[in-house]
Amino acid sequence: MTILTRRAVLAGGSAAFLAAAGCANGISSRGSQSIDARVASTLDYLYGNYPSTQDLRDKASGILVMPLITQAGFGVGGSYGRGALLVDGTPIDYYSATTANVGLQIGAQQYAHVLFFMTDDALYDFRNSSGYTAGADIEYAVRDRGGNLSATTTTSLTPVIGVVFGQAGLIAGATVAGTKYTRIIP
């Protein structure tokens, strides 16, 4: 890779990450109140449009809700968002979610995602990590032909189940793989 190409890739990636982070994802400086309102709205949408996710909610030890993730890329890309961890329906911690990636990509999108921690151990590991990174161990609830999200009995035995929904934009296939979650004070 030539120096000029390297600089172009770094400049494109920096611009994409700053654009995603600079959007503030509609969350104002009111901190936790704004995040809580977005979390409640996101859960209302999720449970209203995909009622089967209520079963996951009822079985989960904790739920991380990221109401709005903004992702942008031009060769190098990134994403950013903020959300809350709920235990028994109550926000107990706030988190930011960030990713950075390199590859053939161009465009931007926004989406929401929810992680259901199905075991106490999975929730404990998440809360006690210095920066939890989502990996291949997350099982996804997927949309079937009828447009319903479902998690099979086998899936519900998985320690962490992810639901990605509400995609709007030009990049397809949003996932949480590689996303780093960091506890924040809003």
Please tell me the distance from the alpha carbon of residue 177 to that of residue 166, in angstroms, as a whole number.
17
**Rounded CA Rg of the chain:** 17
Neighbours of 21 (CB within 10 A): 17
120 DSSP assignment:
H
- Answer yes or no: pTM beyond 0.85: no
For residue 163, CA distances in Å to 8, 19, 29 come to 34, 25, 27
- Using one digit for the tens of pLDDT, what is the confidence trace for 76-125? 888 999 999 999 999 999 999 998 877 766 788 888 999 999 999 999 99
Please tell me the distance from the alpha carbon of residue 94 to that of residue 85, in angstroms, as a whole number.
6
Question: Dihedral (C-alpha) 149, 53, 122, 135: value to the nearest 10 degrees?
Answer: 20
- Using one digit for the tens of pLDDT, what is the confidence trace for 44-89? 999 999 898 999 999 999 999 999 999 888 878 889 999 999 999 9
